[in-house]
Amino acid sequence: MKSLIEKKYQFIKQIVCDEGYEKEIDWQSQIEFKNIDESYFLKELSWVILSSGMKEQIIRRIFYEITPYFYNWKSAKKIVKNKQKCFSRSIKLFNNEKKISAIIDSAEIINKITFEKLKKQIEYEPIEILKEFPFIGNITAYHLAKNIGINVAKPDRHLVRIANDEGFNNVQEFCELISELSGDSVPVVDIVLWRFANLHKNYLDVLSSVNFSHQEQDEIEYEQEVFQ
């Protein structure tokens, strides 16, 4: 069973790479929590806030347009000092007062605590500390955590379905097993599974059709009819 799970993972990872998302996997694999700074944290926190309940493709376009309005996430202090300007400019691009205010409120939290102290708190108790930020809930806390290099998987509906289909009740345990078998980090396993599910609506059918239990193959062919 373990061998089959690993082969399924390698199968879909190759598909994700072939469809142009190898750089996304590389990005996730290079993130280390010890190396993140305040600017990086602000950017990822804001990304998750804006992404909450919305399609990634929409937010990806908006995010790079809105970034200059928050001074390229240079510092929480810079945003707080110019919060009215940040709000008035960005609301014209992204008309959601609650989310724009949430980014500014988050900057105020960071500015008050200082990022150095906040980082130590996150290292000790990541999920609970991250949930203290507006729009960061039980699931999005894991999204943010993995994006800043914490070794967790986001238990969203796609990963829950895939894990359940493979006989697991816990997404973290499922991704940890794949991580152990493949050598990829848990966040990388997460992004591979999520991206595959995001690309193909019939992802469970595809995974259930993969069966290499009786033979090894040097190269897995990507059968296009599977996705029709």
pLDDT digits (tens, 9 = 90+) for 146-197: 999 999 999 999 999 999 999 999 999 999 999 999 999 999 999 999 999 9
Q: Could you give the CA distance from residue 94 to residue 99 in angstroms, rounded to a whole number?
A: 9
Indicate the pLDDT class of residue 208, thresholds 50, 70 and 90. Answer: confident
Structure pTM? 0.88
Cα→Cα distances 23→72, 106, 156, Å? 22, 29, 22
Cα→Cα distances 133→32, 72, 102, Å? 21, 20, 8
Among residues 1, 28, 103, which one has the least CA distance to residue 59? Answer: 103
Q: Could you give the CA distance from residue 192 to residue 198 in angstroms, rounded to a whole number?
A: 10
Residue 118 has pLDDT above 90, yes or no: yes
**Per-residue pLDDT, 226:** 45
Q: pLDDT per residue over 175-184, tens digit each?
A: 999 999 999 9
Residue 133 has pLDDT above 90, yes or no: yes
Cα→Cα distances 42→11, 28, 62, 76, 133, Å? 34, 17, 16, 7, 11
**Per-residue pLDDT, 213:** 45
